[in-house]
């Protein structure tokens, strides 16, 4: 993990944001100093009438810090849409783009420690902000004005407006995914790991008349008792699939950045995920540039490579490459998938795409295995 020390909280290039241990590095004082600099950045890089979207996931104290950050922004003259339920970074960025906001902030954490909390910041086009971009806005002097932390007061003044982040994202999914092609059976087992996906995946499936099983969603407090990386829980996922009679399993990280997908006991590799997605895009008539971190050489001999343009970019320039290139799909060194129009990895959208492919009415168990074996054979 690469970190820079120019702020009161460390900026992590793996996390793509400011990250720290709660009550040690991640404190109210440190958050206020960094967020005051971000407020100045957003004010200078926005137009009149734009607001900033702020949200949080199910991490310990994420909601409370999101409200605190909203008050900091309000006191610095930045008007805010504040999420009224937990949401992932991708959900908030999609909402920000839909509302033509000045950007989005997410209170979330990484996938290594449930007691770490961080802030991801995105600009008006949905791409990650870095410490270098806001370094010039840092002020070493402590503000003499006491921070007003009453959410009720800022709402009454019109600086903070609660909003439901699920509305824009669900609309985005409905425009992207063909739910009519899916089979209404209990084939799918979904595990949101007590994270923000609890409001965005099975809820929409049920609305569409589709069925499945969902586990680990009832008690967000239990989040702090598990390692938040999906890759560490695939064995348990498969055991739950066998218990419920499911042959497809989907487990997603709390902020919906990474995921694992199982077809019976087989855990899809990053290469197999990529090939599956590109085959679906090709069937949908979509084409374009695919950005890959230079740590990946994924396609091999698969003929799908003839229908897309592949560009390898240095990992240290991956985020800036997202912002400066037109792409249909991108994969970073951690196996996170990014889709066109913004720079927040979206494991939720991956899950919907995989259901469209693998829970399809035209795909029998036999042809499903043939499809998987063909993709597994690509080198």
pLDDT in tens, 144-178: 688 999 999 999 999 999 999 999 999 999 999 99
In angstroms, the CA 328 to CA 108 distance is 26
Tell me the CA distances in angstroms from 60 to 48, 56, 63, 109, 305, one per residue in order.
34, 10, 8, 10, 43
- String of DSSP letters for 209-231: T---EE-S-S-GGGGGGS---GG
Q: What is the pLDDT of residues 97-132, one digit of tens each?
A: 999 999 999 999 988 888 889 999 999 999 999 989
Does residue 378 surpass a pLDDT of 80? no
Question: Tokens in use for 48?
Answer: 């009149």
Does residue 297 have a pLDDT over 80?
no
List residues bridging with 213 in a β-sheet: 189
- Sketch out the chain's domains with CATH numbers: 3-165 (3.40.120.10), 177-376 (3.40.120.10)
pLDDT value at residue 7:
44
- Each residue of 217-254: pLDDT tens digit? 776 666 667 788 999 999 999 999 999 999 999 999 99
- What residues contact 2, with CB distance under 8 A and at least 6 apart? 12, 13, 14, 316
Residue 1 has pLDDT above 50, yes or no: no
């Amino acid at each position: 993990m690469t970190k820079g020390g120019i702020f009161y909280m460390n900026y992590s290039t793996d996390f793509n944001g400011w990250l720290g241990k709660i009550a040690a590095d991640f404190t109210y004082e440190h958050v206020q100093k960094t967020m005051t600099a971000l407020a100045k950045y957003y004010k200078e890089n926005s137009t009149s009438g734009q607001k900033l979207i702020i949200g949080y996931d199910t991490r310990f104290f994420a909601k409370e810090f999101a409200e605190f950050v909203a008050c900091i922004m309000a006191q610095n003259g930045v008007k805010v849409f504040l999420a009224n339920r937990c949401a992932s970074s991708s959900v908030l960025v999609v909402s920000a783009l839909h509302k033509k906001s000045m950007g989005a902030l997410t209170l979330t954490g990484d996938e290594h420690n449930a007691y770490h909390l961080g802030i991801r910041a995105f600009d008006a086009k949905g791409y990650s902000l870095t410490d270098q971009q806001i370094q010039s806005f840092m002020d070493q002097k402590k503000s003499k004005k006491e921070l007003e932390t009453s959410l009720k007061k800022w709402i009454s003044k019109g600086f903070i407006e609660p909003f439901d982040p699920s509305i824009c994202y669900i609309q985005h999914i409905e425009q992207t995914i063909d739910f009519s092609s899916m089979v209404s059976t209990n084939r799918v087992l979904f595990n949101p790991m007590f994270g923000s996906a609890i409001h965005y995946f099975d809820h929409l499936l049920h609305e569409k008349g589709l069925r499945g099983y969902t586990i680990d969603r009832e008690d967000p407090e239990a989040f702090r008792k598990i390692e938040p990386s999906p890759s560490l829980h695939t064995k348990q996922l498969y055991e739950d699939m066998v218990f419920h009679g499911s042959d497809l399993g989907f487990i997603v990280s709390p902020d919906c950045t990474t995921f694992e997908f199982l077809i019976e006991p087989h855990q899809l590799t990053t290469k197999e995920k990529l090939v599956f997605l590109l085959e679906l895009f090709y069937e949908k008539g979509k084409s374009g540039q695919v950005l890959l971190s230079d740590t990946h050489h994924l396609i091999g001999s698969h003929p799908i490579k003839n229908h897309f343009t592949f560009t390898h970019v240095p990992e240290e320039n991956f985020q800036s490459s997202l912002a400066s290139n037109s792409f249909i799909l991108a994969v970073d060194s951690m196996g996170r998938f990014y889709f066109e129009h913004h720079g927040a990895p979206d494991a939720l959208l991956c899950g919907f795409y995989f259901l469209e492919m693998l829970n399809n009415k035209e795909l029998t168990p036999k042809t499903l295995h043939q499809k998987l074996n063909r993709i597994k054979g690509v080198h």
